Amino acid sequence: MISFIILMSIVICFSAVLALALNFQWGSGGMVNFGLAGFYALGAYACALLMLKGGFNTFFATLGAMAIVAVACGLVAIVTLRVTEEDYFAIVTLGVGEMLRLVALNEDWLTKGALGLSGIERPFNDWVAPTSYSYVMLGFCALMVAATVWFLNKLARSPFGRVVRAVREDDVVAATLGKHVLWARIRIFAIGGALIGLAGSLHAFYYQYIDPTQFSNIVIAYAFMAVIAGGRGAYLGTILGASIVMVLLEGSRFAKDLIPSLSSDQLAAIRIIIIGVGLIALLIYRPQGFLREYRLQANLSGSKQQSP
Amino acid sequence: MLTVKDVAKSFGGFRALNGCGLEVRPGTITGIIGPNGAGKSTLFNIIGGLFPPDQGVVELEGRSIAGVRPDKLAGLGLVRTFQISRELGELTVLENMLLAGQGQSGEQAWANFLRWGLVREQEARTLAKARALLERVDLWHLANDPARNLSGGQKKLLEISRALMLDPKIILLDEPTAGVSPLMSRALTKAISTLRDDGITFAIIEHDMDMIAEICNPIYVLAEGRTLTSGSFAEVTANEDVMKAYLGKVAA
Ligand SMILES: Nc1ncnc2c1ncn2[C@@H]1O[C@H](COP(=O)(O)OP(=O)(O)OP(=O)(O)O)[C@@H](O)[C@H]1O
Ligand SMILES: [Mg+2]
């Protein structure tokens, strides 16, 4: 049981990083990313391939994966937003995400297709005994979540964070006030992309084996649920949201113990139903999510000095 | 300073502007009046870079700005407000103001981690400026509220104050006093004429004739997409065509 909780906590952690990336892109910046699963796969495959084929260590493979997904996301934003209205952006991300998944599935020479990539190395593997490794992995993943939240909160409180939210609220006003909207959007999407790359790397480290089925589009729905449940733009809330979604998902495995006659197909259906019911309950009782986005609260009574 | 010549713009088959022109000289408050649907806001949208004109000339200080992006125009010192307030609703009143500060290093994401001292210092300066402007329109006590919670008139005041954050050379105001109380309207009229004395040029679309009469000179009259006439308030109101344009519209 303890080990189950630990493993589940690790899963929650890297799911939370993925959801945080979405919360930055969509929650704060208003850029819908329906290609999340594909970019997530790109991050995991990039990390794995950098190690397996490129000979990089886990640290540089992670950095490389972050850079690759950031560039991919940035390119999608540049190319799409330059030529079309932003309304089409969501569709393009969907297409690109699907394409990335198909590449993973079909380009056998690179990704071994449906067989997947195995033998993925883990960070700190040489330093710890295998029996206690899951604790180290959990600590590492939790640290990555904390670092991500710290980074995003820092951005949210900065002038850049204001631009991010302004572009979401009304891009015409942002432009009228002198902000380069396209450039802002490229950066929003690329920064989110780097975080997706991080989540993908953690995913690869945890499973040590990746194949295309792990990155199906249902991942996108879960990530959106986590963000909506936690509150758009509220990064701490996303951790809560991701925890709830993953607990509901994984917890429904226990249904098999309670009702042994369930087939695995029925079980899969029940998981989706539980998630759906949970989401509906949330939208009824707390449509704005658990937590609220950061808002500057200045000291109004004091002198003209105040802390940021 | 701002020259518009023979501008035309159609939406589908509908000619919103057709042979519209005006000249805003530096240091003036130029009024733009005309019946509803005359094309006044459309003209501001073209000058402000929301969409390019189908034809015609738009020049700022001798340089063509037809089709130039709004953020570039802001860099050139031109900023506009909207007829229907466009506050950034989820941002606080103060954040709306701070956003409009120019040259903020902290708008580069990395600078907040590597040059935070500089960012902090700039932020304090931007804040002091925002505070002074908000206090002037009696909005400082609401600075921490989300902008969507402001009343209609307060949103107008916020939008004008926000435009002033850019230290513009020229401001286009689209019905600044619509929905603003008479008292605040008077204060705003005074503030605008003070700002003009400080060297800011204005072009103002207004239906409030008191404001037009008091501070605007010259005044351009638009009707059915063209410039009908221009001149001082006395000249314009003495013109029979102007009365016809207004009354004709009502009678029709
Ligand atoms: N984006 C648009 N698409 C289609 N038609 C438009 C658009 N913008 C303006 N129009 C039309 O152009 C005409 C002029 O509109 P405009 O908003 O410029 O009038 P206005 O002079 O500002 O009037 P008001 O005093 O009522 O604000 C109107 O008939 C309007 O329906
Ligand atoms: Mg108008």
Question: pLDDT tens across A67-90, in order?
Answer: 999 999 999 999 999 887 777 899
The pLDDT > 70 percentage for chain A reads 97
Secondary element (H or E) of residue B8: strand B2-11
Is the distance from CB of B203 to CB of B32 less than 8 angstroms?
A: yes
CB-CB under 8 Å, A180 with B143: no
Tell how far the Cα of A289 is from the centroid of ligand 1, in angstroms. 39
Pocket test for ligand 1, best of B9, B15, B32, B40 (most atoms within 8 A of CB): B40
**Residue of B94, B107, B124 lying closest to A163 (CB–CB):** B107
Chain B residue with the nearest C-alpha to that of A157: B112
> In chain A, where are the structural domains located?
10-214
Residue with CA at minimum distance from ligand 1 atom 18: B39
CB-CB under 8 Å, B70 with A162: no
> Which residues are paired to B92 by β-bridges?
B146
Distance from CA of B32 to the nearest CA of A (A): 21
pLDDT in tens, B158-172: 999 999 999 999 999
What is the structure's pLDDT at A278?
A: 81
Which residue, among B88, B113, B129, B170, would best test binding to A if mutated, counting the most A CBs under 10 Å from its CB? Answer: B88
| Local confidence band at B252 (pLDDT 50, 70, 90 cut-offs) | very low
| Local confidence band at A187 (pLDDT 50, 70, 90 cut-offs) | very high
Which has the higher per-residue pLDDT, A264 or B37? Answer: B37
The answer, yes or no, to whether any atom of ligand 1 lies below 6 A from the CB of B221, is no
Tell how far the Cα of B242 is from the centroid of ligand 1, in angstroms. 19
- Does residue A181 surpass a pLDDT of 80? yes
What is the structure's pLDDT at B148?
A: 95
| Local confidence band at B75 (pLDDT 50, 70, 90 cut-offs) | very high
CA–CA separation, A82 and B151 (whole Å): 36
- Does residue B247 surpass a pLDDT of 80? no
In 3D, which of A152, A213, A121 has the Cα closest to residue A19? A152
Tell how far the Cα of B40 is from the centroid of ligand 1, in angstroms. 8
ipTM over 0.90: yes
- Does residue B17 surpass a pLDDT of 90? yes
pLDDT in tens, A159-171: 999 999 999 999 9
What is the structure's pLDDT at A303?
A: 65
CA distances B47 to A113, B24, B59, B162, Å, are 55, 12, 9, 19
pLDDT in tens, A196-206: 999 999 999 99
| Local confidence band at B249 (pLDDT 50, 70, 90 cut-offs) | low
Q: List Cβ neighbours of A47 (8 Å cut-off, separation of 6 or more).
A: A61, A62, A64, A65, A120, A197, A200, A201, A204, A205
CB-CB under 8 Å, A172 with B162: no
What is the structure's pLDDT at A257?
A: 73
Mean pLDDT score of chain A, rounded to an integer? 90
pLDDT in tens, B96-134: 999 999 999 999 999 999 999 999 999 999 999 999 999
The pLDDT > 70 percentage for chain B reads 98
pLDDT in tens, A238-261: 999 999 988 888 777 776 777 777
Residue with CA at minimum distance from ligand 1 atom 29: B37
Is the distance from CB of B202 to CB of B28 less than 8 angstroms?
A: yes
